[in-house]
Homo-oligomer: A and B are copies of this chain.
Amino acid sequence: MLQKSLNDETRTESLKKAVGLLENAQSILILAHKSPDGDTVGSSFALCRALLKLGKKARVVCSDTIPAKFSYFTNGLDFENSEPDLIVASDVASVNLLGDKLSCYADKIGLCIDHHPSNSVNAGYSFVDPSAAATCEITAELVYLLKVDIDKNIANCIYTGIATDTGCFRYSNTTPKTLRTAADMIEKGADSAVINKKLFETVSHERLEFEKLALQTLELHFDGKVALIVLTKEMSQKTGVDEADTEGIPSIPARIEGVEAGITVKEKDDGVYKISLRTGSTLNASDICANFGGGGHAAAAGCTIEGTLDEVKQKILQAVKDELDKQRMKGKEEWTA
């Protein structure tokens, strides 16, 4: 059962049902998604810590290692192995995202807590609220309803998840409720300044070197309306950058003033390139990528194109140009109508 657009009353009832499941369980296993980010890890550990404070057994598992930058989540935690009577998936939009190690739990999830509109997990009970900027925003409500006093550790977990999924309150998913939940967490002791610095202000030297090489490939096309960068395997090897550490690079070309489409062409295998496309309000990235069997959202989409680098660049540039021309024609028609 998904709660996609509920009125406040129904929403509270649904949340209370989730709380009831947690209250009735004695040993809870919480699943975070693979390639863990601040929201899945933050929401999992916040819930885990709250349940431990209620005297229950609880632990968090993840297919992949929790990144070192989130080490503060586990401060002072020492998990005990026990047979769970409730399995909770936190911020897991699909069972495919459980990863190899946790795939065995795919059909055993008793409670699913998430904010992704595409959530497809088949759980005993699901609370999915796409109006929440982060799963942690929902977790904060759950912890309040569980009547657990939020301590510094829980506050750090929840703050981290919210900051992660909103780009530190920059993205359009940030609502008044998001900001107020973050304010509450700072009041409960969250080290917001330290977390912000670690997550948003610190880059590895390898990442910076990789970015430098990426910027050297920057091309502007069609009167500066389209910007394109290329990321090659050679750049990764040369700089020694970690794959996870290249996050956010595809948003660079789209950030340039006047650019309506930012294209990142990333070399995968010989003759295979992954395209990331970011667009402004005039172009639909998903439609353009659909030409190559890809897809995504209106403002951010992707696809795979085969060929030499030059061929691939020409193909995606032509597809973007066609769409720009279409938009211009549409504008002209409206003008002359």
Contact = CB atoms under 8 A, between A and B. Distances in A.
B192 A174 contact: yes
Given A176-B184, A186-B176, A215-B211, A170 B200 contact: yes
B193 A171 contact: yes
A185 to B, nearest CB: 9
Nearest to A198: B257
A193 B174 contact: yes
A169 interface: yes
A183 interface: yes
A208 B256 contact: yes
A334 interface: no
A184 B179 CA distance: 9
A208 B215 contact: yes
A257 B203 contact: yes
B172 A169 contact: no
A14 B214 CA distance: 54
Contacts of A202: 255-257
Nearest to A258: B205
What does DSSP make chain A's interface, helix, strand, loop or mixed? helix
A329 to B, nearest CB: 27
Nearest to A172: B193
Interface in A200-224: 200-205, 208, 211-212, 215-216, 218, 220, 224
Q: How many copies does the complex hold?
A: 2
A321 to B, nearest CB: 19
A23 to B, nearest CB: 29
Interface in A148-183: 168-172, 174-180, 182-183
A187 interface: yes
Given A176-B184, A179-B183, A186-B175, A201 B257 contact: no
A196 interface: yes
A67 to B, nearest CB: 13
Contacts of A252: 208
A255 B174 CA distance: 25
Given A202-B257, A215-B208, A215-B215, A176 B183 contact: yes
Interface in A221-276: 224, 251-252, 255-258
B186 A179 contact: yes
Contacts of A179: 169, 179-180, 182-183, 186
Contacts of A208: 215, 218, 252, 255-256
Q: Nearest 3 pairs between A and B by C-beta? A: A172-B193, A176-B183, A179-B183
Given A169-B179, A203-B255, A205-B258, 19 more contacts: A168-B168, A168-B170, A169-B169, A169-B196, A170-B201, A172-B193, A174-B186, A174-B192, A175-B186, A176-B183, A179-B179, A179-B182, A179-B183, A180-B180, A204-B257, A205-B220, A208-B218, A208-B252, A212-B215
